[in-house]
Structures are given as C-alpha cells and as structure tokens.
Amino acid sequence: MTPLPIPHAPFPHPGPRRRAVILILCLIACLVEALSACNARKTRDEGQGEVLTLRLKWLFNVSTAGELWALDKGGFERHGLRVLLREGGVEHNAIKEIELGRAQFGIASADQILQAAGKGADIVVLAQIFQANPLQWIYDETRFTVQDVSDLKGRCIGITYGGNDEAIFSALMERYGITDRDVRLYAVHYDYSPFWRGEVDLWPIYRNVEGVVLAEKIQANGGRAGFFDPGAAGISFVANSLVTSRLFYETQPEKVRAFTEAVTEGWYEAMAPQNLHAAVEIVRLRDPETRPELIAEQITATRQLVVQPGRPVGTIDKKAWKETAQILAAHGLLDRKPDFTRLLAGPPP
C-alpha cells in the first residue's frame, strides 16, 4: 500500500532564515514609524492639518485657565481656528513636540525655551503668559517670618535640584551674599512630609496652585501661611510662555497671530473678576478633584501673576528674559546665548 502524500502545512513553521527576514522586516517597520513621526512635522508645518495642537506645560489646572477659556468659550473658533489642547508634564516637553511636528504651539517655561534656543531649536516666543513667576516658598508664619532675604539665614530651605527653584535660589544667594553655611538646603521630592514635620522651614511651591492648597492645610493645623517671593527680592525669572516654530511662524503668520490673540484674550477673560464663577466651572470640568472654592482662590492668586497694571496680558518682558538667561548661564545651564530679537519676536505684525 502506497502511503498517502503528506500535504504541505498551510502555514509552515518559519526556518531560521525566514525568522531573520521577519525580524528585519519588523525592525524596518519600527524605523519607518519613527521616521514618519518626524516627517509629520514638515507636512503639518505646511498647514495641511486643520486642527492645531497646543501642548500645555502641565496637566489641566488653574495654570491653563486661559487656554481652556479660549477653547470652551469659543475664542479659538472666533479666530477661525480648530484647536486641540493636550496636557503636558515632565515627559511631554512642548518644544520637543513642536520640533517633532506633533504640536504647532506649546506652553513652555522660559528656562526650557532659552535652553532649546541655545541648542539650535528654531522657535519664537509669541506671548509671556505669566508676568510674575509663580514659584515661591511657603512657610508657617506662626513659627517665623521672612520680611527680607536676610531672614532666610539659619533656615532649612527646600530645593528641587534640577528645577527652576535651584537656579532661582542660587541667584538669590549670590546676589545677597548668602553662603551654604548660612542656610541648610534640603532636596525636595514628591513627599511633603518633611515640611509638615517641621524639618524643612520653607518649601518651594507654585503660588497659584499648591500654594493655595498648602496654605489651607497650614491654616487647618492652626498655622498661618506666609510666602517668600524671590521676585519681590529682585530676581526676575520668566515662567510660562506661548511658543511656536520659526517655520510655522513664517509660513502661517495669520494663523499664528490669530492663535496668539485667542490665547491672550482667553487669559484676559478668564482672569476678569466678573468671570470668576465661569472660569471656576471651566477649570473644574478638567480638574474635578479640586473643590470649586479652592479653584476660585487659585484663580485669584493666578490673576495677580498674569494680569499686571499697565501691561497687556501676554506682554514679553525682554529685560526679565535677559536676566533669566544670565541666571541660567551662570549655573552652566545655557550652552549659547540666544538671539533675543529673533526669539522674543512676539506675534507676527
């Protein structure tokens, strides 16, 4: 009896050579995917994408109230724009997203912008959202008070090494002749307990966000919150600003101008005292964990940082930018001094 021929399996098991080919194809696919992400920059910068993406500096909270207002109250639409807001974070750097073509606009801190420009990123600052830096140090006034910089002597001060506060505090120490022997520096992490235990006297916070929350907690514990503002001690260090790429700026000036106007108007309206309730609602939609009355306090604190008498919202304080660059350079954080005229161009005329 002749044995029946064994039929070929429909999907034969791949041999070593075939496996190698499959592996190489997979690697090529990964590479193509990575390259296409980079390539997206060009096509989107040419304005083919209808929706403009704004990558924020941080998560949705009161520090993004102006952008949220522009989105929810139709500010972008009135300027003929369709906009997608995307949350930021440590892992989402707005300038990198712009360079990769994943966003056309971004909110970034001045140190990020200056460092990027110093390393060849061709970006343009369109508006300076915060006229005063929200970074301050909180303390319990029932324990001690800080009237001026000399009151910091003998205190334990929290510093986020690598963060803005390190550069700001170092500049402060240099300016006022404070040495390492005069203060004790404590490396701040995510855990606030050293502050609550009293091991650290002054803790760095964003005045308009954590500042409000911690002040409430201090009060609940029978204390009274005080704030040390390095800006009041003469240290100008610019915070969040609106940026875009030079390419988009030059090829799509109308869109850039309209976008900048929508954002600055959004901030102006969100910070208006008569719009407080509406602004609270808008922030609360994205930040439901924070109580409305706390958001209202945060907006009030933000108003003082964004809206300053005699200055339109979004004004670029060039002197403060230069001082910020000097502070960064003094701490070895700036490779090359940027061309301020090009960088701080503001919206297209």
Partner 1 sequence: MGTHVKPLRRILEFLLIYACGIGGLLGIKAAFRLSDYLIPSAGELLTTAAENGWRYTEAVADTAVVAVAGHGFSILLAVTVAFVGISRSFLGALTKTAAYNLQAFPVVAIAPILFIFLGDGITSRILVASLVCYFPLLLTFIGIFAQPVEDVEHFFSMTGRLTRRLALGIRVFENAGKILAVIAGSGTMAMVGSIVAEFLVATNGIGYVIRKALYQSNLAHILVSLFFIGLFSSLYISIIELMGRAVQKRLDPVEDTPA
Residue 66 or 204 with smaller CB distance to partner 1 = 204
Q: CB of residue 245 vs partner 1: minimum separation in angstroms?
A: 10
Q: CB of residue 116 vs partner 1: minimum separation in angstroms?
A: 4
The CB-side HSE value for 221 (13 A sphere, CA atoms) comes to: 18
- Report the 3 state secondary structure along the chain: CCCCCCCCCCCCCCCHHHHHHHHHHHHHHHHHHHHHHHHHHHHHHCCCCCEEEEECCCCCCHHHHHHHHHHHCCHHHHCCCEEEEECCECCECHHHHHHCCCCCEEEEEHHHHHHHHHCCCCEEEEEECCCCCCEEEEEECCCCCCCCHHHHCCCEEEECCCCHHHHHHHHHHHHHCCCCCCCEEEECCCCCHHHHCCCCCEEEEECCCHHHHHHHHHHHCCCCEEEECCCCCCCCCCCEEEEEEHHHHHHCHHHHHHHHHHHHHHHHHHHCHHHHHHHHHHHHHHCCCCCHHHHHHHHHHHHHHHCECCECCECCCHHHHHHHHHHHHHCCCCCCCCCHHHHCCCCCC
Residue 75 or 118 with smaller CB distance to partner 1 = 118
Q: CB of residue 337 vs partner 1: minimum separation in angstroms?
A: 15
Q: CB of residue 328 vs partner 1: minimum separation in angstroms?
A: 10
User: The tokens of 206 are what?
Assistant: 């964003």
Residue 307 or 333 with smaller CB distance to partner 1 = 333
Q: CB of residue 306 vs partner 1: minimum separation in angstroms?
A: 24
Residue 30 or 232 with smaller CB distance to partner 1 = 30
Residue 41 or 73 with smaller CB distance to partner 1 = 41
Q: CB of residue 283 vs partner 1: minimum separation in angstroms?
A: 25
Residue 160 or 300 with smaller CB distance to partner 1 = 160
Q: CB of residue 72 vs partner 1: minimum separation in angstroms?
A: 30
Residue 278 or 333 with smaller CB distance to partner 1 = 333
Residues that bind partner 1 (CB under 8 A): 31, 34-35, 38-39, 41, 90-91, 93, 95-96, 99-100, 111-112, 115-116, 118-122, 160-163, 187, 189-191, 193, 333, 335
